[in-house]
Amino acid sequence: MNGLSAQLEAEEIARALRRVRHPAGYGRHPLVLPSDVVGFLVQGDLERADDVRYLTLWRDGATGEIEVFATEVVTSAARARRLASEPGRRGFWDAQTATAIGAEVSLLYIAPGDALGAIAAERARQKASTE
């Protein structure tokens, strides 16, 4: 990494991660501001999501599996409960208390909804430039 020693590289990575770490302990993409995730994060069905604002990684507490969900951030607990009870939804995360409601999960990471598309486009661009 730019000719840095392994120790300096590790320190630089740690500093970068601290800048994007949310106070509740989960990571966030640099384009997701802390003010974007105030309220309740409601899990949704990635396949049925028409307009995905956020993508999130969650760890299932029972199985240890990591899953990706389309996620909506709402400010009302009542609305979060209502949305979480809809088909294709599994629960929600209270960002203030860093706890899951209605599902045994841990929130690991939040990214903009178009992050997967942006990553795929960048990989395609890199592949094309090496061919």
Quick: pLDDT tens for 101-123.
887 888 888 888 776 666 556 66
* pLDDT above 80: residue 79: yes
Tell me the residue range of the domain where 33 lies.
Answer: 6-130
Phi-psi category of residue 89: left, alpha or beta, with phi > 0 → left and psi -120 to 50 → alpha: beta
1 pLDDT above the threshold of 50: no
Residues 6+ apart with CB under 8 A from 30: 19, 20
Its pTM surpasses 0.75: no
Q: How confident is the model at residue 78 (pLDDT cuts 50, 70, 90)?
A: very high
Q: Is residue 1 part of a domain?
A: no
The gap from C-alpha 95 to its chain's centroid, in whole angstroms, comes to 12
Q: Residue 55 is which amino acid?
A: L
Is 74 inside a domain boundary?
yes
User: How many structural domains does the chain have?
Assistant: 1
In a domain, 106, yes or no: yes
